[in-house]
Amino acid sequence: MKVREATEDDGPTIRSIALRSMEASYSLSPSTIEGAIQQWYGVDSFSENLEDDDVVMLIAERDGEPVAFSESVLVDSRGDIHWLHVAAMYRGEGIGHQLYEETRERLEDAGAETIRGLVLAMNSEGNRFWEDRGLTKVGEGTVEIDGTAYVENIYVDEDSIEIQPIVVDDQELYIDRNDSERGSKGAFYTVYTDEEREDKYGYYCGACESLVTSMGSMGGLQCENCGNTLKPTRWDAAW
């Protein structure tokens, strides 16, 4: 199997693989799946991903034919694997595992010290995939698909779970460095009032090191101190 970086010409192939993969993995309506593919891999969004230096998009080929792809992003020193799609007819051949290993290696070469995997809660096969890779579920988030919010499970390397205590106005808070989203200027990290991460307080702006305690109605974030913003595509379901 050959793994290579995606190019502009791979747009139709990416959309085709994603379509076949989502049809096999999710009990979503055809219109919802089509909307998701256009949202993430339409011509404009696909081009934006390819131009983003922090985004890693890889295609796996079998005998010269693309059969799978992964989409990841580097957030500070963590690699987030947002999607790993294998066309349904090629599943069970170890392609997903090989693509994961290659994706992880590319992210580590780019500076990732730990890996985080994300998968919709309704995808039991996908959740087992992350567990079989040795990752541990640490929380839940939400991803918007065609205007509807769906629960997304978050998995991380078990030995990389990191809680950082801080004191703000004489109150001890805890920053979860493994639960974050990439903003326009830096990452937003989830902040809790307890070390067990049961009581959420807000977010910590990695760009200017200030707290953000308000969120837009659709899940967007904006730091009033430095203008760092987060588009409401993925956000924490417990907020």
- Provide the domain count of the chain: 2
- Residue 130: what pLDDT? 93
Q: What's the order of all strands across the beta sheet hosting 163-168?
A: 163-168, 171-182, 187-192, 200-205, 210-212
* 168 plus 154 within the same structural domain: no
- The answer to whether 198 and 192 have CB atoms below 8 angstroms apart is yes
* 121 plus 176 within the same structural domain: no
- Residue 221: what pLDDT? 82
Sign of CA dihedral 93, 121, 80, 52: positive
* 105 plus 173 within the same structural domain: no
Range of the structural domain that residue 144 is part of: 2-159
pLDDT digits (tens, 9 = 90+) for 131-148: 999 898 877 878 888 778
* 49 plus 15 within the same structural domain: yes
pLDDT beyond 70 at 160: no
- pLDDT-above-90 percentage for the chain: 37
Distance CA 28, CA 9 (A): 28
The pair of structure tokens assigned to 197 is 């991460």
Distance CA 196, CA 71 (A): 30
Q: What is the CATH number for 144?
A: 3.40.630.30
Instruction: Dump the DSSP string for 167-194.
Output: EETTEEEEEEEEEEEE-SSSEEEEEESS
pLDDT digits (tens, 9 = 90+) for 71-130: 999 988 889 999 999 998 898 899 999 999 999 999 999 999 889 999 999 889 999 999
pLDDT beyond 90 at 3: yes
* 144 plus 175 within the same structural domain: no
Q: How confident is the model at residue 159 (pLDDT cuts 50, 70, 90)?
A: low
- Residue 35: what pLDDT? 87
* 54 plus 143 within the same structural domain: yes
- Residue 144: what pLDDT? 81
* Amino acid, res. 145: I
DSSP assigned state of 158: G
